[in-house]
Amino acid sequence: MKAVRFFGHKDVRVVNDIERPVPKGDEVLLKIGGAGVCHSDLHIIDEGTVVGTVFTLGHENAGWIEEIGENVEGYKKGDAVLVYGPWGCGHCKPCQQSKENYCDHQSEQAYGGGLGLDGGMADYMLVPSSRLLVPIFDLDPVIAAPLTDAALTPYSAIKRSLPKLMADEYVVVIGVGGLGHVALQILREISGAEIIACDVTEDKLAFAKQLGAAYVINSKDADAAEQIQKITGIKKAKVVLDFVGATSTIDLGTKVVSLDGDLTIVGLGGGHYQYSMNGLPFGVSMTNPYWGSRTELMEVVGLARQKKIHIEIEKHKLDDANEVYDRMRQGKIKGRAVLVP
């Protein structure tokens, strides 16, 4: 079968000689409908966040059950499912609570399919357990694939700040890419706060307005923080969601977040933050959430089935993976690119 393989630093190749796996025991073989292209892949490919192993990329996956191992119950050939991405041990307390993204054993195992183990940028993908599948019913797997990360990750980050996102508050969203464009819609649907969106190009800012941002600011502007403070006034923004995670965006976040606010850094842009008592308002919670839980993914499917969130998608062939990654490096993708075998 065909697969998009990571061979090492800046070396991604589309190959045709991968054997189609056969599921045993608890395993499930999926026929892939779509595999989303996440910026985290670029951190792996360009910056070496996963090293020393060759594997198939693609950690945002959806498809149809093709074959099941002898122990799998409750699924049959043709069922449409998402693959929950952060694969935990399945046994520890966080895993039992469905929060495999915070599995006790994360430091000693690969993060999941497409993140050290074979992922979904291929004709078929082997999933180690049906525990990691979430049914999508009438949703199309091509459109649904990015729900597993581009929607689940912002959803989980927003949910933890929800009590602070009331109608008299402001929320700042930095980065209106794959994750950020869904974050805006989730905020619009489940919170009352007024949204201020930041990106670095005019087309992304116009896109943000369409998705529910009341205000847009170009974060390249030297006075971006002052522009935001002009909108929020002295109270500042109760929640800042940073989907870039560069030193400059973390710096912007610390300048605009309010007393007792949340500064949530989702982006893995390699930024640094030096704590200083005067640099951060009192009471601020600074967090770096990772992905979301299995049950939160079910809630995200609910939002999509009710048409409350819509992922803007461009479809591409597996053969075009390297060109798609290049366009992502240049910030040229609107919404999410999905590879369709």
Round to whole Å and give the CA distance between 64 and 200: 38
Q: Which is nearer to Zn ion, 184 or 280 (CB)?
A: 184
Tell me which of 50, 72, 83, 103 binds Zn ion, using CB under 5 A: 103
Q: Write the interaction track for ligand NAD spanning residues 140-179; mark x where CB under 6 A is met and - where it is not.
A: ---------x---x--------------------xxxxxx
Round to whole Å and give the CA distance between 174 and 228: 12
Any residues with CB less than 8 A from the CB of 284 and at least 6 apart, and which? 254, 257, 259, 260, 261, 262, 263
Q: Write the interaction track for ligand NAD spanning residues 64-103; mark x where CB under 6 A is met and - where it is not.
A: ----------------------------------------
Q: Where are the alpha helices (DSSP H) in the chain?
A: 39-47, 93-96, 141-144, 152-161, 178-190, 202-210, 224-232, 247-256, 294-305, 321-329
Round to whole Å and give the CA distance between 185 and 167: 15
Q: Which does 199 bind (CB under 5 to 8 A by kind): ligand NAD, Zn ion, none?
A: ligand NAD
Any residues with CB less than 8 A from the CB of 279 and at least 6 apart, and which? 254
Among positions 282-301, residues that touch Zn ion (CB under 5 A) are none
Least distance to ligand NAD from the beta carbon of 125, Å?
19
Q: Which does 296 bind (CB under 5 to 8 A by kind): ligand NAD, Zn ion, none?
A: none
Measured torsion, CA atoms of residues 327, 330, 334, 340, in degrees rounded to the nearest 10: 20
Does 156 help bind Zn ion (rule: CB under 5 A)? no
Least distance to Zn ion from the beta carbon of 320, Å?
19
Q: Where does this chain bind ligand NAD (CB under 6 A)?
A: 38-40, 43, 149, 153, 174-180, 198-201, 204, 219, 243-246, 248-249, 266-269, 289-291, 328, 331, 333
